Amino acid sequence: MEEKERYDVFIIGSGPAALFAAMRLERRGVRSIAVADRNSYPAGGLLNDGKLNFDPRVGIDPAELKIGSEETTRLMNEIKKDLEGFPHMRQVTVPEGNETIDVIRRIAAEHGVQFIAPEQWHWGTDRGKAAVDYLRGFLKNTSFLLKTEVSSLRKESSGEFTLLCDHRGRRLTCCARVVLAAPGRSGAYWFRDAARKLGAENNFGPIDVGIRLELNRTLYDSITDSVYDPKFIFKTDRHRDKVRTFCTNPGGRVRLENYGAFKLVNGDALGRRKTDNTNFALINTVALTEPLSDTTEFGQMIARQFHLLGGGSPIVQRVGDFREGRRSSPATFESRIRHFDFCRSTCKAVPGDITLGMPARIIDNLWESLKKLDKIVPGILHPSTLMYAPEIKFFDTHFPTGSDLETSVPGLFVAGDGTGKSRGIVGAAISGIIAARGIVAKYFS
Ligand SMILES: Cc1cc2nc3c(=O)[nH]c(=O)nc-3n(C[C@H](O)[C@H](O)[C@H](O)COP(=O)(O)OP(=O)(O)OC[C@H]3O[C@@H](n4cnc5c(N)ncnc54)[C@H](O)[C@@H]3O)c2cc1C
């Protein structure tokens, strides 16, 4: 007979959604928990930057999680409490009593732009491992199955789940009464297929498509000195679309995310060492209806186009070249005469023309928003400012659930970014806590 490892709760993934869920399951007395991750270190996106937004308007959709504002704030305070003993957590935005925030909000409003300054904490990519080790320290009874990729799951007639895994190159079979899927964005499409085979309903959510700006930090310090990761939200005049700034990294670096068939841009910052630049994303929310509702296909089409145009790399264009309607080229990329040397790129992307790969509507929206932002923070559209593309956030797989985050398949719960329940570390952690609460209430009380 085939040997199986047995758990009460099997968690797929080891990012913030998974770790916070495991912590709550342990605290509520669940004895046998497995956290499985295909990577060798249990962290998911906790190793990335570690900017925590404690604001119900950012990175979380309370309506999706079916929680009110009081409950959202209470859960955010719980997470802060869990993290307050971590020595490298630094509060980087203190909204209370900050007069500069009121001034920025007023100037933004004059241009029809909404400005949000959330309470923010940061530890930096270089301290990500320490943060994960700190959180893992809370977990006493959880088994970590690392280098373990879950390849499929099925539901037995007994109601139990069987999970087939590749564990360090050999086959491992596990079974569990309850499965919590928190596969993040990198595992979203695998899980979508696996869950469909079980009969779990899902639909397509919107995606965010845009660019990452990198500029000499002196041009944006007047804002980021007060608000580490400022959120400007635009409604464009021409198309009435939503565009927003996202994931600002003062003194940070632009990074590439490798998705195999293409690469996307992103950004982070270290806690100890800073660059001369600041970067942030400017993204356009895209929802589709008929005849194409598949936002995944749409986003991948754009990503593949850039992959082709950039010879396998994302594309970068100087604002000075963009204004002139010409591509950036290696020959003039650092031109002193054009003041391009004012901002040295922190990332290897191919100089080119971003308008070749992006739909016109999105380019219109981004440029209109940038011009407004340049009125609020004059100077950001310096000729040296870099525009990298594509930056795409695939938050497109969405599972309809009740308030406990159980899917239409009994015993199968979901949490985190890969299932449409969050868009950031704090939101992912909150969804993990809610799922853990639901699991205990329904299956272990
Ligand atoms: C460069 C970068 C910077 C970022 N900076 C920030 C930031 O500053 N602040 C912020 O709030 N957010 C940031 N994010 C986003 C943040 O990382 C995510 O929002 C968050 O990690 C989502 O948590 P999660 O638990 O849903 O999934 P994840 O953290 O993505 O974890 C999912 C895990 O599941 C594993 N997995 C997937 N499929 C399988 C499978 N089949 N079998 C086994 N394991 C599997 C993956 O290996 C992964 O480790 C950043 C992201 C990137 C890429």
Chain CA centroid to CA 199, Å: 27
**What is the Cα gyration radius of the chain?**
22
Structure tokens at 415: 């949490």
DSSP letter string, 390-403: EEEE---EE----T
Furthest-apart CA atoms within the chain: distance in Å: 75
Cα(188) to centroid(ligand 1), Å: 10
Of 417, 422, 433, 434, the residue with max ligand 1 atoms within 8 A of its CB, to mutate for a pocket test, comes to 417
Q: What share of the chain is helix, strand, coil (3-state, %, to 5)?
A: 35, 30, 40
What kind and span of H or E run contains 154? Answer: strand 148-155
- What single-letter amino acid sits at 301? M
Q: At what angle do helices 69-83 and 128-136 cross, to 10 degrees?
A: 100
Per-residue pLDDT tens digits of the chain, which is 445 residues long: 556 899 999 999 999 999 999 999 999 999 999 999 999 998 999 999 999 999 999 989 999 999 999 999 999 999 999 999 999 999 999 999 999 999 999 999 999 999 999 999 999 999 999 999 999 999 999 999 999 999 999 999 999 999 999 999 899 999 999 999 999 998 999 999 999 999 998 888 889 999 999 999 999 999 999 999 999 999 999 999 999 999 999 999 999 999 889 999 999 999 899 999 999 999 999 998 889 888 889 999 999 999 999 999 999 999 999 999 999 999 999 999 999 999 999 999 999 999 999 999 999 999 999 999 999 999 999 999 999 999 999 877 889 999 999 999 999 999 999 999 999 999 999 999 999 999 999 999 8
Token look-up 């695998």 returns 190
Nearest CA to ligand 1 atom 26: 416
Cα(256) to centroid(ligand 1), Å: 15
Tell which atom from ligand 1 comes closest to the C-alpha of 148: 43
| Distance from C-alpha of 159 to C-alpha of 422, rounded to nearest angstrom | 28
The alpha helices in 3-141, defined as continuous H runs, are: 16-27, 62-65, 69-83, 99-110, 128-136
| Distance from C-alpha of 3 to C-alpha of 348, rounded to nearest angstrom | 48
Cα(392) to centroid(ligand 1), Å: 15
Cα(112) to centroid(ligand 1), Å: 33
As for ligand 1, residues whose beta carbon falls within 6 Å of it are 12-18, 36-39, 44-45, 48-51, 59, 149-150, 182-187, 190, 247, 255, 257, 266, 268, 416-418, 424-425, 428
Contacts of 291 (CB under 8 A, 6+ apart): none
Nearest CA to ligand 1 atom 9: 51
Cα(44) to centroid(ligand 1), Å: 4
DSSP strand pairing (231-235 vs 114-116)? antiparallel
| Distance from C-alpha of 335 to C-alpha of 319, rounded to nearest angstrom | 13
Cα(157) to centroid(ligand 1), Å: 33
Cα(48) to centroid(ligand 1), Å: 8
Q: If we measure between CA atoms, which residue out of 226, 232, 224, 344 comes closest to residue 277? A: 344
| Distance from C-alpha of 317 to C-alpha of 350, rounded to nearest angstrom | 8
Cα(84) to centroid(ligand 1), Å: 22
Domains contained in the chain, CATH given: 5-88+123-203+398-443 (3.50.50.60), 207-393 (no CATH)
Nearest CA to ligand 1 atom 27: 184
Q: Is the dihedral of CA 293, 415, 66, 429 positive or negative?
A: negative
Contacts of 70 (CB under 8 A, 6+ apart): none
Say what the pTM is: 0.92
Cα(7) to centroid(ligand 1), Å: 24
Of 10, 37, 174, the residue with max ligand 1 atoms within 8 A of its CB, to mutate for a pocket test, comes to 37
Tell which atom from ligand 1 comes closest to the C-alpha of 418: 26
Are 14 and 36 contacting, i.e. CB atoms less than 8 angstroms apart?
yes
Nearest CA to ligand 1 atom 33: 13
